[in-house]
Amino acid sequence: MSDSDAETHFVQDISPSLEASTWRWTGKRPTIRMFPGTTQRLSYFIDFTIPGATFTQTGPVTLSYFVNDHLVDQVRYTAPGRQRFEKPVPADWINANDYTLLAAEIDKPWIPAKSDAKPLGFILVSLGLEQK
């Protein structure tokens, strides 16, 4: 999230404000686009935090992870804290010569008390594809 060109990859639901030089708030379904250049041995990964302050109001949450609208997996988180999710991606879900969309959707965003505030999902540190 702190790369100098990070915002050029944002599609939706990721705050333009970089916090503590490392992370950004998300909305319900943060989505990025990237150009993988290959389809071989790729894994979806995401590093994020479910804040204790939001968890006290939402309770356990489920995150669904997507590559080009294909569901990679769903995971239920029953405690706040730092998390990492990683899973291999089938090669036929990706076109090496086109943009790939990566998303993570939270089932219960946190609604801040301020009436004009947008719902918040989680704290996003990194999201991408890694070649293994």
Please give the residue range of the domain that contains residue 19.
6-131
Q: What is the mean pLDDT of residues 24-45?
A: 96
What is the pLDDT at residue 1? 87
What is the pLDDT at residue 108? 96
What's the whole-model pTM score? 0.94
CATH code at position 97: 2.60.120.260
Q: What is the mean pLDDT of residues 115-130?
A: 91
What is the pLDDT at residue 113? 81
Position of tokens 């990237």?
34
What is the pLDDT at residue 55? 96
How many domains does the chain divide into?
1
Closest alpha carbon to 80 in 55, 58, 61? 55
What is the pLDDT at residue 50? 97
pLDDT over threshold 90, residue 118: no
Q: What is the DSSP string of 64-93?
A: EEEETTEEEEEEEE-S-EEEEEEEE--GGG
